[in-house]
Amino acid sequence: MSKRRDTRNEILQLALELFLTRGYNGFSYQDLADRLGIRKASIHYHFPSKEDLAVAMIADFREELRNWSRNLEAKDAAPGQKLDALFETYRQMFRGKDQICMVGACSAEWNTLADPVRAEMGKVMKGQRQWLVDVIEQGRETGEFAPGTEALPLARFVYAGMQGALQLARVSNDETMLDLVIKQLNDLVRGNVAAETTA
């Protein structure tokens, strides 16, 4: 007996791929239909509008992030390992399918996004920042990270640095740019900058 096709999930997966490589306005329902070999009506059945599709796609992405975080917790990862895992996800986005992250994709087209899409994306950004704040605070408690700037401003700085580095690395097709920024941010969080300066 053949396995039943999960059309809704296929639509979401392809939409996410196109969203991260082309942007929200860079693909249409016709693109999805052509790639999946289905009619546009089938897409509208699951997602009446592109806004509905985007909200569902971002909600799925948030759940993937939660699962990623839970997996690290299940492995009892140390704060430094969690930070390394974050940096590695950005490397994988660059190496895998020449993608930028969802936040970067949305920010470039923010003014064209409907309010429900912005609201869902806001939850992603808030969740990612808070996760990073928690990791920084945990690392300082264990002595793995250096004390210094409050965790929230530092988390925002790291977050913004990674977003920008990934986009610039993609435009220039130069992974060394991404690696350089990762090293600088890693040194900053761990306190290696001062050590190198005084060496």
Residue 133 has pLDDT above 60, yes or no: yes
Q: Which residues of 19-31 are buried (b: 16+ CB within 10 A; e: fewer)?
A: bbeebbeebebee
Q: Answer whether residue 194 is part of any domain.
A: yes
| Residue 7 near residue 46, CB atoms below 8 Å | yes
Q: Answer whether residue 8 is part of any domain.
A: no
Q: Answer whether residue 4 is part of any domain.
A: no
Residue 195, pLDDT score: 38
Domain span at residue 73 reads 58-198
Residue 100, pLDDT score: 74
Q: Between 195 and 86, name the one with better pLDDT.
A: 86
Q: Could you tell me the pLDDT band of residue 98, with boundaries at 50, 70 and 90?
A: low
Q: What is the pTM of this model?
A: 0.85
| Residue 124 near residue 61, CB atoms below 8 Å | yes
pLDDT digits (tens, 9 = 90+) for 48-93: 999 999 999 999 989 999 999 999 999 999 999 999 999 999 998 8
Give the least confident one: 20-24, 32-36, 59-63, 195-199.
195-199
Residue 102, pLDDT score: 83
Q: Answer whether residue 128 is part of any domain.
A: yes
> Quick one: tokens of 174?
């130069």
Q: Answer whether residue 26 is part of any domain.
A: no
Query: Count of CB atoms within 10 A of residue 128's CB?
Result: 21
Question: To the nearest whole number, what is the mean pLDDT of the chain?
Answer: 89
**For a pLDDT cut of 90, what percent of the chain falls above it?**
69
Q: What would the 3-class secondary structure string for the chain be?
A: CCCCCCHHHHHHHHHHHHHHHHCHHHCCHHHHHHHHCCCHHHHHHHCCCHHHHHHHHHHHHHHHHHHHHHHHHHCCCCHHHHHHHHHHHHHHHHHHHCCCCHHHHHHHCHHHCCHHHHHHHHHHHHHHHHHHHHHHHHHHHHCCCCCCCCHHHHHHHHHHHHHHHHHHHHHHCCHHHHHHHHHHHHHHHHCHHHHHHHC
Q: Could you tell me the pLDDT band of residue 199, with boundaries at 50, 70 and 90?
A: very low
Residue 139 has pLDDT above 50, yes or no: yes
CATH number of the domain residue 75 falls in:
1.10.357.10
d(CA 20, CA 18): 5
Residue 96 has pLDDT above 70, yes or no: no
**For a pLDDT cut of 70, what percent of the chain falls above it?**
93
d(CA 73, CA 95): 26
Looking at the 3D structure of the chain, how many domains does it have? 1
Residue 129 has pLDDT above 80, yes or no: yes
